[in-house]
Amino acid sequence: DAGVIQSPRHEVTEMGQEVTLRCKPISGHNSLFWYRQTMMRGLELLIYFNNNVPIDDSGMPEDRFSAKMPNASFSTLKIQPSEPRDSAVYFCASRASGRGAGELFFGEGSRLTVL
Amino acid sequence: QQQVKQSPQSLIVQKGGISIINCAYENTAFDYFPWYQQFPGKGPALLIAIRPDVSEKKEGRFTISFNKSAKQFSLHIMDSQPGDSATYFCAASWTYNTDKLIFGTGTRLQVFP
């Protein structure tokens, strides 16, 4: 299996620009999670989907962030407009149906730098 | 009450030594405690997990010790190797909301030859 695939791996952009991060979960997994990792705040859950439906977006920092999952094999996290404080590594993770909450499979992350 | 407190923040161990990372929680409803391992430039990966009905779980050189009354659990890495150098996260969740994992702040482990 190819694992969770994220793109781009690195993104450098200027403040005010739109950023779109992409994720392809493991085939057959029905839950998808977006996390943000920073030195100051560690790993934070932003939003998660079950069967393509957003379940809890309480971790999304503000309205500048949005996430979609149009089908079982693709999700996006969009930041518009981006700000320097959004600089972080963004991880996508997926989980198979019926598995315990701990068994998340993470992608390699998208490192975002907003200048 | 939903926090998981992890210590130390960083740890330096000599090859062959024992690495010990500790976590504490407040919410007694937590009933699943995984540990994740993250290498630089990679995403976290599940290492080992425990439920509170057992006090210890061992997988190879990795052991989780769980103290339910103290609301603490720890990861022990026996015979630590340079290849174990990574960041380790403890986490917790509860059965009625299994989608939400609460992560600790992480421990950066460096094992020197």
pLDDT tens digits, B59-89? 999 999 999 999 999 999 999 999 999 999 9
**Cβ–Cβ of B43/A108 closer than 8 Å?**
yes
Give the pLDDT of residue A103.
Answer: 83
Mean pLDDT of B37-42: 95
Q: How far is A93 from chain B (nearest CA, A)?
A: 9
Q: How far is CA A70 from CA A23, A100, A112, B48, B76, in A?
A: 12, 25, 23, 33, 42
The two beta strands, B45-50 and B33-38, are antiparallel
- Contact of A12 with chain B, judged by CB distance below 8 Å, is answered with no
Give the pLDDT of residue B22.
Answer: 98
Give the pLDDT of residue B76.
Answer: 98
Give the pLDDT of residue B29.
Answer: 86
In this complex, which of B44, B101, B104 lies closest to A101 when CB atoms are compared?
Answer: B101
Q: Which residues, in sequence order, are bridge partners of residue B5? A: B24
Low-confidence ranges of chain A (pLDDT < 70): 1, 98-102
- Selection from A59, A75, A58 nearest residue A110 by Cα: A75
Asked if residue B96 has pLDDT above 60, the reply is no
Contacts of B45 in chain A (CB under 8 A): 105-106
In this complex, which of B45, B93, B105 lies closest to A101 when CB atoms are compared?
Answer: B93
In this complex, which of B41, B45, B106 lies closest to A106 when CB atoms are compared?
Answer: B45
Give the pLDDT of residue A69.
Answer: 97
- Contact of A75 with chain B, judged by CB distance below 8 Å, is answered with no
Give the pLDDT of residue A100.
Answer: 59
- Selection from B15, B5, B4 nearest residue B109 by Cα: B15
Q: How far apart are CA A86 and CA B36, in angstroms?
A: 24
Give the pLDDT of residue B28.
Answer: 87
pLDDT band at residue B51, thresholds of 50, 70 and 90?
confident
Give the pLDDT of residue A101.
Answer: 57
